[in-house]
Amino acid sequence: MKRKYELSQTEAFDWANQCPKAVTWLSKLQKKAENAWRLWIYCTQVGKTPDQLLVLKKDPASRDAEFLLDSFVANPTALSNSVKVNVVIAVKSFYKHNYCELARACGQITLTKVFPYRRHTKEELVKICRACQNPRDRALITFVWSSAIARDSLTRLTWGNLEQGWTDKQVPSISLQSEIIKGHGIGRYKGVEQHTFLTPEAKRDLIDYRLWLLHTKKLTSDNSEPIFRDLHPPYGAITGMSLNKIAGMLSRRSGVKFGWHDARRYVETVLEEIKIHPNWARKIRGRKVKGEEAPYSRPAIEQLRKAYAEAVPLLEFTQPTQLMELQKRQEIVEVLTDKLMHGEPLGDEDKANIKRYSIKLAQRKTLATRHNGGAIDCDFDQIAETQLLSYLQAGWSIVHKLSDGQLIVKR
């Protein structure tokens, strides 16, 4: 199969190692191969070597390097918008770390969003889980969709990041130091930590995965060892490339496309729905919180845990909760009612649902008759989603969901 680019990231890294200035630059970066590849693309497009790029800034007053980068951005190429954006970032970084920084105004390019952001339903997440063929992948899905931990951080997580006695906690906490989250504690990210949690279902899957590692792979889970590993010798920490392959494989098996960053949006949306304080949500997602000197004390983490616990019913998806069962029953009742009103026969699936959910057909037929023949007195109310369970248990039903997350219900 013909390759899209002449060099792979590994080959581009070898190419960059032939230039001392590029080696110095890459030594200061985390993602060496990716940035070497982006610099190679730029050099190929503009017809210059890394050393020749730096010659353009030999005279600090010269703007030749800036004009060259502007031309790269302006000229139409086969490169996608996202690749161009990353190339520009890499090139500016190359100049900066060789102490001949480019003017900030050059190479301006905006990342164009081609596809809408995905927000998965619980049913879609269940399909992804069912597509998993080993305990590690199942643990990965529930772990990430409850903790909002980023892909790169997953490759550096160790069992020591889990709080002591985590198996005995209903909602265990996970603490990530600056070095393993976005920014790596450098510059404006200095002192930023991520303190997040696992839902009970994520904890269950993680315990199953740990036991599987011990009994099947003969691997221990000491504090210094990685949580997520490759499943073949030498069983090293899982890599970003492996995570991408897992996501692609599970997407094909389940028919539900997803990426690891989708989990961060999923958790953030749920936290917004329970109206958690924005600063607390930022701590859970590992983002900088302004105006706090020491935001990660034990009392603060306990406050976070209490707030997070309110989101657990909305975050969990592998086990049918009471709320999900009631919502499913309500949907089935509405389908049966519609069929009765239009004189349609009930199929085998309908009869199975009637038995499973203890639906009384006599009442539904009466309801259909009254709908046809006269008015029914109904009470309406507007409630938050967190109140829904108690309303459904009291016999209310959902009429409409508003754009702000509120619900209209009737009795």
Q: Which domains does the chain have, with CATH numbers?
A: 9-97 (no CATH), 122-315 (1.10.443.10), 322-410 (no CATH)
pLDDT at 300 over 50: yes
CA-based nearest residue to 122, from 387, 321, 356, 397? 321
Mean pLDDT over the full length of the chain = 83
In whole angstroms, what is the distance from residue 25 CA to residue 97 CA?
6
* pLDDT value at residue 321: 52
CA-based nearest residue to 68, from 86, 85, 33, 92? 92
pLDDT at 323 over 70: no
Q: What is the pLDDT of residues 196-234, one digit of tens each?
A: 999 999 999 999 999 999 999 999 999 999 999 999 999
In whole angstroms, what is the distance from residue 22 CA to residue 255 CA?
42
Give the angle subtended at the CA of 250 by the CAs of 249 and 254, to the nearest 5°. Answer: 125
DSSP character string of 154-207: HTT-BGGGBPTTGGG-SS-EEEE-GGGSTTTT-GGGTT--EEEE--HHHHHHHH
pLDDT at 66 over 90: yes
In whole angstroms, what is the distance from residue 373 CA to residue 371 CA?
6
**Kind and range of the H or E run holding 315:** helix 312-315
Handedness of CA 13, 18, 19, 23 (dihedral sign): positive
Residue with tokens 């504690």: 185
Asked if 147 contacts 197 with a C-beta cutoff of 8 angstroms, the reply is yes
In whole angstroms, what is the distance from residue 190 CA to residue 207 CA?
33
Helices 135-147, 260-273: axis angle to 10 degrees equals: 40
* pLDDT value at residue 327: 63
CA dihedral angle for residue 270, residue 272, residue 277, residue 282, rounded to 10 degrees: 70
Q: Provide the whole-model pTM.
A: 0.60
Measured between its terminal Cα atoms, the distance across the chain in Å is: 62
Residue with tokens 């590994």: 10
> How does 58-68 read in b/e, with b if 16+ C-beta sit within 10 Å?
eeeeeeebbeb
Does residue 212 or residue 333 have the better pLDDT?
212
What's the chain's Rg over C-alpha atoms? 27
CA-based nearest residue to 149, from 117, 187, 197, 186? 197
Q: Is 380 helix (H, G, I), strand (E, B) or coil?
A: strand
In whole angstroms, what is the distance from residue 112 CA to residue 368 CA?
51
Give the angle subtended at the CA of 204 by the CAs of 197 and 132, to the nearest 5°. Answer: 105
CA-based nearest residue to 55, from 17, 98, 84? 98
Q: What is the pLDDT of residues 246-258, one digit of tens each?
A: 999 999 999 999 9
pLDDT at 48 over 60: yes
What is the pLDDT confidence band of residue 375, given thresholds at 50, 70 and 90?
very low
Averaged pLDDT, 304-329: 76
DSSP character string of 2-15: --SSSS-HHHHHHH
In whole angstroms, what is the distance from residue 105 CA to residue 107 CA?
7
